[in-house]
């Protein structure tokens, strides 16, 4: 005959549940404590690391880029706030804000020449030129980081990839796929002709001329009628290397 559930059995089960709960809470607490401790250790280790390599982080662009990568992997953004311990520790926030301001200056200064579209490489060269006196070296990675911080201003600073090159756009003009294709084509020689666009991209002449005219109107291109073959060339200061020297002296 089966025993029916009695009061003692119920009490026993309740007690066991309590015991389990207690144990569970204890285990959870121990685990949180452990986690907290680990986090604290991690943070102090990261701080130690940052302190120890402070100079490397400041001066060596390659090292800085790796440090950023490491931080990103563990979910720490050293640039998130200028008031955090990173800023106090490294002054790294100020570094990027300074770069940001200088990048804006360069983009504005070269706008009459390139229409607000500048090659990332060229931007870096100009930036280094401008910062000649500062001791810290600047890499393209630094430029990209500084530009990404400029986005909060909502002024339409953006890095676009055209072919193999990265271009920095500082005007609100959106470039569509057709524009991009032409700029990519121009990377070869620094210029394109209508014929070339029709042939290489298999476009109709109307489409080629329209797109080129838009780029011209936006100030991204300049015409050149001086070649002896008599064909009009459309030059793109944002992709031809000579422009980098033009603007520094202008």
Give the residue from 133, 134, 123, 114 showing the smallest Cα distance to 221. 114
With respect to another protein, which residue has the nearer C-beta, 1 or 242? 242
232: left (phi over 0), alpha (psi -120 to 50) or beta: beta
With respect to another protein, which residue has the nearer C-beta, 152 or 225? 225
Give the residue from 118, 121, 122, 125 showing the smallest Cα distance to 158. 118
User: Considering the complex, what minimum distance in angstroms separates the CB of residue 246 from another protein?
Assistant: 5
DSSP alpha helix (H) spans, 76-176: 85-90, 92-114, 120-130, 140-150
Distance CA 47, CA 78 (A): 11
Question: What's the DSSP call for residue 193?
Answer: -
- The binding site for another protein (CB under 8 A) comprises 112-113, 115, 191, 216-217, 219, 222-228, 233, 235, 237, 240, 242-243, 245-246, 249-250
With respect to another protein, which residue has the nearer C-beta, 180 or 248? 248
Give the count of beta carbons closer than 10 Å to the beta carbon of residue 110: 25
> 126, 241 in Cβ contact below 8 A?
no
With respect to another protein, which residue has the nearer C-beta, 57 or 193? 193
With respect to another protein, which residue has the nearer C-beta, 194 or 216? 216
User: Considering the complex, what minimum distance in angstroms separates the CB of residue 234 from another protein?
Assistant: 8
User: Considering the complex, what minimum distance in angstroms separates the CB of residue 64 from another protein?
Assistant: 32
Residue owning tokens 């809470």:
25
User: Considering the complex, what minimum distance in angstroms separates the CB of residue 240 from another protein?
Assistant: 7
Question: What's the DSSP call for residue 187?
Answer: T
With respect to another protein, which residue has the nearer C-beta, 51 or 223? 223
With respect to another protein, which residue has the nearer C-beta, 81 or 245? 245
Distance CA 125, CA 140 (A): 10
Give the count of beta carbons closer than 10 Å to the beta carbon of residue 37: 10
Give the residue from 122, 102, 99 showing the smallest Cα distance to 246. 122
In the chain the first and final C-alpha atoms are separated, in Å, by: 105
């Amino acid at each position: 005959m089966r025993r029916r559930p009695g009061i003692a059995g119920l009490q026993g089960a309740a007690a066991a549940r309590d015991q389990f709960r207690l144990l569970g809470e204890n285990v959870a607490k121990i685990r949180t404590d452990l986690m907290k401790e680990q986090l604290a250790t991690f943070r102090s280790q990261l701080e130690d690391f940052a302190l120890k390599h402070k100079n490397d982080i400041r001066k060596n662009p390659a090292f800085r880029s790796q440090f950023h990568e490491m931080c990103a992997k563990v979910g720490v953004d050293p640039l998130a706030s200028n008031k955090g311990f990173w800023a106090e520790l490294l002054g790294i926030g100020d570094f990027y804000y300074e770069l940001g301001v200088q990048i804006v200056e360069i983009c504005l200064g070269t706008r009459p020449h390139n229409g607000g579209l500048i090659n990332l490489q060229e931007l870096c060269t100009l930036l280094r030129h401008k910062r000649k006196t500062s001791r810290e070296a600047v890499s393209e990675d630094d430029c990209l980081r500084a530009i990404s911080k400029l986005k909060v201003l909502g002024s339409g600073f953006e890095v676009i990839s055209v072919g193999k090159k990265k271009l920095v756009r500082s005007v609100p003009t959106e470039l569509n796929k057709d524009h991009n294709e032409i700029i990519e084509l121009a990377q070869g020689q620094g210029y394109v002709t209508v014929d070339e666009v029709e042939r290489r991209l298999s476009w109709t002449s109307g489409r080629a001329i329209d797109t080129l005219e838009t780029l011209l109107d936006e100030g991204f291109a300049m015409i050149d009628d001086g070649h002896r073959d008599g064909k009009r060339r459309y030059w793109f200061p944002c992709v031809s290397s000579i422009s980098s020297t033009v603007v520094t002296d202008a």
